Chains A and B, each alone.
Chain A
Amino acid sequence: MRLWALRELRETAGRYAAGVAVVAVVAAFAVLLLETIEVFVRMLATTDMGDAAPVRAALTSVGLVFLGIAVLTAAIVISGTFATVYAGRRRDIALLRLVGATSAQVRRASRIDGLAVGLAGAVAGIAAGILISLGAIGILNASLGIGLEFAWTPQLVVVPLVVCVAVSALAASSGAKVVARVSPAEGARSDGGGTQLPAAVARGRGIAGVVLFVVGGAILALGLIAGLVSPFGLLIAFPGGVLSIVGVILGASALTAPIVAAVTRLLRGRGEYLLAGANLRANAVRTARTIVSVLIGVTLVTMFTVAGEMYLAQTRAYFGDAVEFEAVAQFITVMLVVVYVLTAFSVLVAAIGLGSNLSLSVLQRQREIAVLRSVGLTSGQAQRMVLVESVVVAGIGAVLGLALGVLYGFVGANSTFGSQGFSGPVLSPWFVVAVLGGAVAFSVLASLLPGRRAARVHPAEALRDA
């Protein structure tokens, strides 16, 4: 089994490219974060401005929160990648089961895949992180005329390595879980059943998702109320937020299926639009996975923007247009920029997730596309089919992400500053336009390569034996 896993991994390395890229981004992020904190704290220690230990603790805990967000996003993307790759290998797996591989062996094989992906990504990411740090320190020294030094600590390598390898191995085995249940009988069958979850599993996840979302929502409400009397309401609201977003992710296909159905029924007029809609509906799980990766990126950005804007509005109400306000506003803006930079890594991870899901779905539909080409789908239509799928999915993910982000931002702001006065959510229409525009622009970009791949599928492939 181990040999099988490694050989498969070598032959299908391209399919894991997104997984490796995602892990690398997280590893590089971790290195940059740790290095920035280390350099800053050491600089502080030399300037004699006081005890560096509490500063280090504060910076590290803030850093860990953002690293945690990036790791969670990466785990979702990687498990999605693995689930999709393994779904495409159903028949191989069923054959292995037929000749006697146990379900546990199949899952162990997937963990080996996960380890390899984690290791490759971590090494690349750590190297990139160190190089970027060195470069940044060099540029800062040259332009500001200061003498920063690269601060070497073992954590710089150990933390990202352990985190990345553990997360991708876990995500891989959870992603492969459903497929490991494949019955040996499927090896003898030849159907293109798609990537549907067994009904019982899907229902179970849907129910778990709703329960988590409701419980998380209740805790959020509690945090909101607590925030009216104490700034520590955030500590109650935060786990509620985590629970509810996990609920959304678990129940994603139950949540998105009716939305996808309603939106895709509007796609008419051209053959490729109809096909795109039918694809998205038929592969509800894969569609939900892709929507989730967009949703997470948009939720994060929206949450911080809404919370930041609300805090600004509240501060303005408190200070009036006095000089003090200018100073505080500037501080908040700087903080927001820092937060955006920190969130950008998670958004990048989510973006890679969208691109990889699209590529995998084209790769696995190669034969279907060949049949379509043989009965008269032009290569332009094939390209547009993928484009429409991408835009629809990104659009739905962006709208849902906006809604969730407003909710979290609103609760977050009020549970922290609510004791100074309750305020409603603030959302600038420009931000909405920018997010929707950005989502559409990115989804068009993300569809270019997979779309070209679909357009190049040779119609004669439809004739090949399965």
Chain B
Amino acid sequence: MRANEERAVVARGITKTFGSGESPVQALRGIDLEIGAGSITAVMGPSGSGKSTLLQVVAGLDAPTTGQVWLAGQEITGMRDEQLTLLRRERLGFVFQAFNLLPSLSAEENIRLPFLLAGGRPGADDELWIAAVISRLGLNDRLTHRPHQLSGGQQQRVAIARALATRPAVIFADEPSGALDSASGDEVLGLLRSASTEYGQTVVLITHDSRAASIADRVIRMSDGLIVDDFPGGTAEQIGERMLGVTE
């Protein structure tokens, strides 16, 4: 079990085909991937490279056409929708590019959403953790605000707080800084970096931006549904250069 725990995400022989008949689109063409716990992995690639499809498949949002996926040591391929939903609720966190939050709920309710969905109250231990996350992300003054009363950067901070609230095995972040100005974007990326450094949080970051990828410990490059490069992270410039090298 220990060995599995150290690998937050394991994918074997993943393919994903959309549509059928005369012109099926093969979005993923055989992916093998292991992502270690406690680090940030950036999955990069231009649009159409399959990185978003890979995220959907490894995060249990969509089933692969063939292959197997394990999350935190549990095989998720073949799970029933209900089981998969509960797994997402309890073990995974999500930060999307935009429209992360429920407009009808306050910031605090949004942060507590996974617990709210479970119907119970968080335990004393969870309450301490939630309070710590809220103050670490500087959201104490914003708790009663509704999303439309918050700036884009503040909304993303609420989304990160929600993702951290359940102490998930993995946080999946899809272009989390994509819709933000560069200062708020850097702040959001910095917070994800701190979550990994301070709490040992595993993060899988999907991005096309080498600046965003510079917070990662490891960078995976995708192209045409395949992994074409896999290297330890670096500065934005180093990553950008390596990306260009592969393309040429």
Binding site for B on A (CB under 8 A): 190-194, 269-272, 274-275, 278-279, 281-283, 367-368, 371-381, 458-460, 462-463, 465-466
| B153 CB within 8 Å of chain A | no
Q: Please, which residues of chain B bring their CB within 8 A of the CB of A282? A: 103-104, 146
- Known pairs A462-B94, A463-B56, A463-B96 / 8 extra A-B pairs, C-beta < 8 Å: A191-B148, A192-B148, A271-B117, A275-B105, A372-B102, A375-B88, A375-B162, A379-B85
Residue of chain A at shortest CB distance from B81 = A379
Stretch at the interface among B108-116, B123-131, B225-233: B108-116
Do B99 and A466 touch (CB < 8 A)? yes
Q: Which residues of A contact B105 (CB under 8 A)?
A: 275, 278
Task: Give chain A residues whose Cβ lies under 8 Å from the Cβ of B90.
Answer: 376
The 3 closest A-B pairs by CB, nearest first: A376-B89, A282-B104, A271-B117
* Cross-chain contact A269 with B119 (CB below 8 angstroms): yes
Whether the pair B116, A274 counts as a contact (CB closer than 8 A) is yes
Known: A375-B114, A458-B62. A194 touches B103 (CB 8 A): yes
Known: A371-B99, A375-B94. A194 touches B104 (CB 8 A): yes
Residue B4 is within 8 A (CB to CB) of chain A in the complex: no
Interface string of B80-102 (1 = CB under 8 A from A): 01100110111000101111111
CB 8 Å contact bits of B42-53 with A (1 = contact, 0 = none): 000000000010
Report the separation of the CA atoms of residues A270 and B88 in the bound assembly, to the nearest whole angstrom: 18
Docked Cα-Cα span, A378 to B117, in Å, equals 9
Contact A376 B86 (CB under 8 A): yes
How many whole Å from B61's CB to the nearest CB in chain A?
Answer: 4
Chain B residues packing against A (C-beta within 8 Å): 52, 55-56, 61-62, 81-82, 85-86, 88-90, 94, 96-105, 109, 113-114, 116-119, 146-148, 162, 174, 179
A193 to B103 Cα, complex, angstroms: 7
* Partner among B82, B94, B179 whose Cβ is within 8 Å of the Cβ of A374: B94
**Bound Cα distance A274, B117 (Å):** 9
Q: Find the A residue at minimum CB distance from B53.
A: A460
Q: Which of chain A's residues have a CB closer than 8 A to the CB of B109?
A: 278
Cα distance A190–B101 in the bound complex, in angstroms: 13
Q: Return the contact of B96 from the options A271, A371, A380 (Cβ within 8 A).
A: A371
Q: Are B147 and A192 in contact (CB under 8 A)?
A: yes
B residues less than 8 Å from A367 (CB atoms): 99
Contacting residue for B104 out of A279, A375, A459, A463, CB 8 A: A279
Q: Which of B62, B88, B100, B103 contacts A376 (CB 8 A)?
A: B88
Residues of A within 8 A of B174 (CB): 463
Judging by beta carbons under 8 Å apart, are A460 and B116 in contact?
no
Q: How far is the CB of B88 from the nearest CB of chain A, in Å?
A: 5
Residues of B within 8 Å of A379, CB to CB, are: 81-82, 85
A171 CB, nearest partner CB in chain B, Å: 27
Per the bound structure, the CA–CA distance linking A104 and B164 in Å amounts to 48
Q: How far is the CA of A271 from the CA of B82 in the complex (A)?
A: 15
Cα distance A460–B172 when bound, in Å?
12
Q: Would you list 28 pairs from A and B whose C-beta atoms are within 8 A, ordered by A residue?
A: A192-B99, A192-B147, A194-B148, A270-B119, A271-B118, A275-B102, A278-B104, A282-B104, A282-B146, A368-B103, A368-B104, A371-B99, A371-B100, A375-B88, A375-B113, A376-B114, A378-B82, A378-B86, A379-B81, A459-B61, A459-B85, A459-B88, A462-B94, A462-B96, A463-B52, A463-B61, A463-B174, A465-B97
8 Å CB contact of A381 from B114, B117, B148: B117
Q: Which of A193, A271, A374, A376 contacts B148 (CB 8 A)?
A: A193
**A463 and B47 alpha carbons, distance in the complex (Å):** 13
Question: What residue of chain B has the Cβ atom nearest to residue A268's Cβ?
Answer: B119
A40 to chain B, nearest CB (A): 53
Bound-state CA distance A372–B114 (Å) is 9
Identify which of B85, B102, B114 contacts A378 (C-beta below 8 A). B85
* In the complex, chain A residues whose CB is within 8 Å of the CB of B62: 458, 460
Residue of A nearest to B150 (CB): A191
* Least Cβ–Cβ distance between A169 and chain B, in angstroms: 32
Residue in A closest to B62 when the chains form the complex, CB atoms? A460
A379 to B89, CA, bound (A): 13
Q: Which residues of B contact A269 (CB under 8 A)?
A: 119
Please state if A374 and B88 are interface contacts (CB–CB under 8 Å): yes
> Smallest CB–CB gap between B166 and chain A, Å?
9
Nearest-CB distance from A190 to chain B (Å)? 6
**Residues of chain B lying within 8 A (CB to CB) of residue A375:** 88-89, 94, 113-114, 117, 162
Q: How far is the CA of A192 from the CA of B152 in the complex (A)?
A: 12
CA distance A192 to B119 in the complex (A): 25
| B residues in contact with A376, CB < 8 Å | 85-86, 88-90, 113-114, 117-118
CB B149 to nearest CB in A, in angstroms, measures: 10
How many Å from the CB of B237 to the closest CB on chain A?
28
Bound-state Cα–Cα, A271 to B105, Å: 12
Alpha-carbon separation in the docked complex, A428 to B113 (Å): 45
Residue of B nearest to A277 (CB): B104
A460 to B206 CA separation, bound complex (whole angstroms): 14
- Cα distance A26–B81 when bound, in Å? 44
With a cutoff of 8 Å between Cβ atoms, the chain B residues found around residue A463 in the complex are: 52, 55-56, 61, 96, 174
Residue of A279, A283, A377, A462 near B99 (CB, 8 A) is: A462
Closest chain B residue to A368, Cβ basis? B102
B60 → A minimal CB distance (Å): 8
Contact at B104–A190, with CB atoms within 8 Å?
no
Give the distance to chain A from B56, nearest Cβ to Cβ, in Å.
5
The CA-CA distance from A453 to B99 in the complex, in Å, is 20
Q: How close is A45's CB to chain B, nearest CB, in angstroms? A: 62
Interface hub of A373, A378, A381 (most chain B Cβ within 10 A)? A378
Choose among A193, A373, A460 the residue that contacts B56 (Cβ–Cβ < 8 A). Answer: A460
